[in-house]
Structure 1
Amino acid sequence: MKTQYKKNTIYYMLTQYVQIILTIIYGVILIPFYLRYISTEMYGVWMATGNIMMWLSILMPDWSQLILQQLGVAYGAEDREEFSRILVCGIIIAISFGLVFYTVSWSASFFFEGWLNLPVGFELASLTNAFLLAAVGTALTVLGVTFSSVNLALQHTVSAGMANIAAMVVRVVSVVILLRQGYGILSLGYGNMLYGTTVLVVNVLFTVKFVWPMGLRFIFDFKALFKLIQLTAYSSLNKFGNIVSKQMEFFLVTRYLGGEEATMLKIIKVVPETLLLFATNVSVALMPAVSHSKGAGTIKDKMDALMKFTGIMFAFSCYLGGGIYELQETFVTLWVDSGIFAGQKIVFLVVANTVIVGVADTFGRYVFTVGKIKAVATARSISAVCQAGVMLAGLLLWGMEGMLIGAIMVACGLAMVFMIILIRAEKIPFLLWMVPIREFLLGLCAAVLSVAFVHPPLQASWKGLMLTGTLYTIGFAVLLVCISKNTRLYLVAVLRFLKKRFGFL
């Protein structure tokens, strides 16, 4: 079962970037289009119900990561029987999770009016129907990602990525068509349902294509089932912590400040959260190779490359964060309306929180993938409890700013905990684990200096936005190349690859 780690990872990374672009289209570029057909208040409340759905998904563990980790280790160890047991039991558990999730979502929909403090005359029926359609889509997605994880574990990363791309295209196209046909908020519900359906159908077809030639004998084992159930309990704690850390803001703001304030926060958060995926989601692309290496017993040989590449990711995160801070006000003014811009201080806090959460998520994925599932779950659940209290206290005392400062404090602590767990689990030498920290600090310095010397356009215009962004990019790149040896080494490697592959440079 030999695997071309580098080739598979690069291809999967490319599909991840395509998915991020589609996410930007769906979650950023199309928001003004949504607001032409959906009121600001309705859209803000929809964001809050989306977060309720995320909380309900605690019933389902961080399933895609869990099943990928288990299947990847079994495949790397060339244990076909264990692979079969995990596959069969995983499908059974995923179906059960989907049914339970929809049942609980349906029950929760009866309490929206009280939970969200909705005004008199609000279109509750349309909101509820859209929520239930989205719940169907989420349940189908859970089953679909089970088959996607099979494809990833077998190192067919491009196929898994293409399935997700197809589903995202279906969602974008269907939402646009339905909004123009006058379906309103129901359009978003139908879009999510069609997304889940596509994820399931396409991934099942790919799994049949790849598993059938293996002549795999399907085995059901109660012991394997109970083991997976036990791991899902820990994974659910991990999911709980993840949801609280990333999704609680909209519910709190909607509950205490109102739907319009929630929309304002969404406008500010959507750009950094989406663009920073270009840096942090690279760790997702590494998970199939890392889990396979763990099973094959070769992960220590690859730790040097992993830490150095992680440093590049962190420096890139700083670049994106600085650029977003510099240009966010201009972009929001051109994109939607200057009247719903929350202020530059909020932008700074949102960007800082998003960058730090990305660092924590990266180390958390590594720890999870090497098998320390219980440790990840414990750390996330404790941080979630702390963050819920800190964010609520901050919101009540100092408003939105206080809430975001509380989130940043907890995210910093979580990132440190995950890194310590990874260092101890894999016995990473000091000079090696310092690489991502060093590159993060160097990237931060380059971003701060670039922001200080490059000023945003005096008048909002797309031309000024592009010019400022170009100057910031040039300044950051020059500074980082000068101060980061790791960046210079990767730059030389890329240039050599281009010369070898295309015959120029």
Structure 2
Amino acid sequence: MALNKSTYWNLFYQYSSVILSIISGILMAPLYLHYIESSTYAYWLASGNILIWITIIEPGVGITLEQKVAFTAGQNNKTELSKLITSGLILCSIILVASFSISLLIQQSIPVILDLKKWPHTSLLQEAFFWASIGSSLSLCTYSLVGVNQGLQHTAYTGLVYLVSQLVGIVISIYGLIQGWGLLSIGYSRAVTGVLYFVGNGLIFLYALQKDTIRLEYDKHYFKSFYKIFSYTFANKMGITIANNIDLIVVSRFLEPSIITQLELSRRPQNIFSGFVNRTTYALLPSMSHSFGKGDSNSVKTIYIQFLKGFIFISLIISFGFIIFNEALLNFWVGAENYIGDLENVLIVLSIIISSYTYSNSNFSFSAGNIKGNSKVGIYRSILYLVLIFPLTMYFGVVGLLAALIISYLATEFWYYQLDLARVIGLKPSEVWQVVKPNLTPLLLMSCMAFYLHNLRYESLLQVVFVAFLFTVFAVACFYLTVPEIRLQVSIAIQKFKRKAIPDQTLNQ
């Protein structure tokens, strides 16, 4: 599958958004802790999980539109495109009204959900929640517009709008904190971000329709067949949203409020890894669906094998890096009291690696049109997680909570997508093993190094950065010396660089 210009722009903006999230995460967390009272911020994090529950209203319309629009565009069927996009717009409008209505109901229920009857700042939390819910509702509606824009390969402007809206939101949040708005600065910034995201993508949508000469056409029978898809995706979205955002609420009910902040801050740096991986395969979705629409599944298989090689290389280095340095990083970033613990840290690393791997596999499966299968396995995982999280958290604390997450992934999505990829792109177990096998030696060497480095005591952030740099050099050297594929890719990269840096005549001489 040849990556077109649109895909490269999509990759650029997806990675830029992750970098922006990293910067904002590093910058904003200490500011929040400084300007917002600790218990208020802890309960805001928990209520943020409730806010994400509103996204249940969006049953995957955006991502489904992206896949179907890209697939149909690959077939050059503009008649179906017109009906498909119109159906998506109708659902977009319904989502906007429903999400905002439900958010108002949830706002009134926050004191009961979080058990805040005696807490003095409940009204402040509810007001911040209201403004944030406006931005969330607009963003949910915008996902449908983004799906159409991405499916039609108009990704450059879409990514730019996302980055600008996020940057403006960060600026407003910082300004509000300095001006003494407290928790309301977060709510206001979310609202402004949602408005900018909605307006910007609306303009791109109108431009895309005009450029591709697509007229909106409503077909009652087509609309019915289209929204029937979401009987599966809605149940999947509801289960995944509740399951993925119930952990902090469970902690607030069964454990101490301080653990909410510890868990959230301890895993925040590690979400950087999952952000990069998830955005990579998400950026490839339109192009992969386009290739499947043309009937070219072999090129997608080639892309998958290359992705798997890169995933193993990066995930091993990043995961061991966080196992070694996360405690020291948090110590100099937000204070040692916000570190969750060594065992919990290892489990966080494992859960993020496994979830990122299964999410990436689901994108490859989804791009082939396996919407129903993806939805079903997501529902099964969510149910299993919800069954396990309450008893395991009650008896084993945060360790039990993280164990419930890992078990739910391994028992459902992990093996399902391997089987499905064998079906849609002809991926054989022997091909996967050939990719995994050479990485066992670097895994062993890095394990030994991690055991030694984790026991060191660091006196400054500069020392942490220096030792982390040495570990990265050591890890890359392990891969280079033991994995033939790495040496081959480095050799190819050097040859390409020489051809660009040195004129052909000079090389010939």
Query: Cα gap change, 1:188/1:285 in structure 2, threshold over 3 Å: closer, same or farther?
Result: same
Equivalent residue for 2:476? 477
1:454–1:471: 8 Å Cα contact kept in structure 2? no
2:181 is paired with a residue of what secondary structure? coil
TM superposition shift of 1:171 = 1.2
TM superposition shift of 1:128 = 1.0
Q: Output aligned runs, 1:194-273, within 5 Å.
A: 194-273=192-271
Query: Cα gap change, 1:492/1:449 in structure 2, threshold over 3 Å: closer, same or farther?
Result: farther
- TM score, norm. by length of structure 2: 0.93
Equivalent residue for 1:116? 114
1:368 is paired with a residue of what secondary structure? helix
1:145–1:199: 8 Å Cα contact kept in structure 2? no
TM superposition shift of 1:405 = 1.4
Supply the distance in 2 between the matched residues of 1:225 and 1:110 (Cα, whole angstroms). Answer: 35
2:127–2:184: 8 Å Cα contact kept in structure 1? yes
Equivalent residue for 2:276? 278
TM superposition shift of 1:6 = 4.7
Look up the equivalent residue of 1:360 and give its one-letter code: T
Look up the equivalent residue of 1:330 and give its one-letter code: A
2:297–2:424: 8 Å Cα contact kept in structure 1? no
Equivalent residue for 1:37? 35
Look up the equivalent residue of 1:469 and give its one-letter code: A
Supply the distance in 1 between the matched residues of 2:432 and 2:247 (Cα, whole angstroms). Answer: 32
Alignment partner of 1:418 is 2:417: yes
Which of these residues, 325, 328, 339, is aligned with residue 326 of structure 2? 328
Equivalent residue for 1:486? 485
TM superposition shift of 1:117 = 1.4
Query: Cα gap change, 1:464/1:12 in structure 2, threshold over 3 Å: closer, same or farther?
Result: same
TM superposition shift of 1:103 = 0.7
Look up the equivalent residue of 2:344 and give its one-letter code: I
Q: Output aligned runs, 1:155-194, within 5 Å.
A: 155-194=153-192
Supply the distance in 2 between the matched residues of 1:8 and 1:366 (Cα, whole angstroms). Answer: 18
Q: Deviations over 1:30-73 (max 9, x none)?
A: 10101111112111111111111222321211233211111111
Supply the distance in 1 between the matched residues of 2:89 and 2:442 (Cα, whole angstroms). Answer: 43
Percent identical among aligned pairs is 22
Query: Cα gap change, 1:30/1:231 in structure 2, threshold over 3 Å: closer, same or farther?
Result: same
2:457 is paired with a residue of what secondary structure? coil
TM superposition shift of 1:395 = 0.6
Q: Deviations over 1:219-254 (max 9, x none)?
A: 111222222211222222332343244322111111
TM superposition shift of 1:370 = 1.2
* CA-atom RMSD in angstroms: 2.2
Equivalent residue for 1:451? 450
1:92 is paired with a residue of what secondary structure? helix
- TM score, norm. by length of structure 1: 0.94
Look up the equivalent residue of 1:180 and give its one-letter code: I
Look up the equivalent residue of 1:132 and give its one-letter code: F
Supply the distance in 2 between the matched residues of 1:336 and 1:67 (Cα, whole angstroms). Answer: 41
Q: Deviations over 1:191-225 (max 9, x none)?
A: 11111111111122222223212222221112222
Equivalent residue for 1:409? 407
2:229 is paired with a residue of what secondary structure? helix
Query: Cα gap change, 1:10/1:446 in structure 2, threshold over 3 Å: closer, same or farther?
Result: farther
1:327–1:456: 8 Å Cα contact kept in structure 2? no
Equivalent residue for 1:359? 357
Supply the distance in 1 between the matched residues of 2:115 and 2:37 (Cα, whole angstroms). Answer: 17
Equivalent residue for 1:498? 497
Using the TM superposition, name which of 87-96 and 484-493 deviates more.
484-493
Equivalent residue for 2:342? 344
Equivalent residue for 2:62? 64
Using the TM superposition, name which of 41-50 and 425-434 deviates more.
425-434
TM superposition shift of 1:322 = 1.0
Equivalent residue for 1:11? 9
Supply the distance in 1 between the matched residues of 2:194 and 2:268 (Cα, whole angstroms). Answer: 22
1:51–1:247: 8 Å Cα contact kept in structure 2? yes
Q: Deviations over 1:101-152 (max 9, x none)?
A: 1111111122111210126133111111111211111111122222222221
Q: Deviations over 1:54-101 (max 9, x none)?
A: 223212112332111111111111111111211111111011112101
TM superposition shift of 1:164 = 1.2
Look up the equivalent residue of 1:387 and give its one-letter code: Y
Equivalent residue for 1:302? 300
Stretches of structure 1 lacking an aligned partner (at least 5 in a row): none
TM superposition shift of 1:319 = 1.4
Using the TM superposition, name which of 150-159 and 103-112 deviates more.
150-159
TM superposition shift of 1:28 = 3.4
Query: Cα gap change, 1:400/1:9 in structure 2, threshold over 3 Å: closer, same or farther?
Result: same
Look up the equivalent residue of 1:472 and give its one-letter code: F
Query: Cα gap change, 1:477/1:147 in structure 2, threshold over 3 Å: closer, same or farther?
Result: same
Look up the equivalent residue of 1:21 and give its one-letter code: I
1:345 is paired with a residue of what secondary structure? helix
Equivalent residue for 2:431? 432
TM superposition shift of 1:385 = 0.8
Using the TM superposition, name which of 370-379 and 338-347 deviates more.
338-347
2:62–2:145: 8 Å Cα contact kept in structure 1? no
Using the TM superposition, name which of 264-273 and 309-318 deviates more.
309-318
Supply the distance in 2 between the matched residues of 1:500 and 1:288 (Cα, whole angstroms). Answer: 32
Query: Paired residues, what number?
Result: 503
Q: Output aligned runs, 1:386-397, within 5 Å.
A: 386-397=384-395
Supply the distance in 2 between the matched residues of 1:243 and 1:395 (Cα, whole angstroms). Answer: 19
Look up the equivalent residue of 2:468 and give its one-letter code: G
1:315–1:439: 8 Å Cα contact kept in structure 2? no
Alignment partner of 1:465 is 2:450: no
TM superposition shift of 1:470 = 0.5
Supply the distance in 1 between the matched residues of 2:439 and 2:275 (Cα, whole angstroms). Answer: 16
TM superposition shift of 1:314 = 3.2
2:439–2:479: 8 Å Cα contact kept in structure 1? no
Using the TM superposition, name which of 457-466 and 380-389 deviates more.
457-466
Supply the distance in 2 between the matched residues of 1:431 and 1:159 (Cα, whole angstroms). Answer: 41
Q: Deviations over 1:266-291 (max 9, x none)?
A: 11111111233223321111111111
- Which structure has the bigger radius of gyration? 2
1:240–1:380: 8 Å Cα contact kept in structure 2? no
Query: Cα gap change, 1:448/1:83 in structure 2, threshold over 3 Å: closer, same or farther?
Result: farther
Query: Cα gap change, 1:147/1:492 in structure 2, threshold over 3 Å: closer, same or farther?
Result: farther
Supply the distance in 1 between the matched residues of 2:226 and 2:391 (Cα, whole angstroms). Answer: 37
2:182 is paired with a residue of what secondary structure? coil
TM superposition shift of 1:412 = 2.0
Stretches of structure 2 lacking an aligned partner (at least 5 in a row): none
Which of these residues, 369, 372, 375, is aligned with residue 370 of structure 2? 372
1:53–1:105: 8 Å Cα contact kept in structure 2? yes
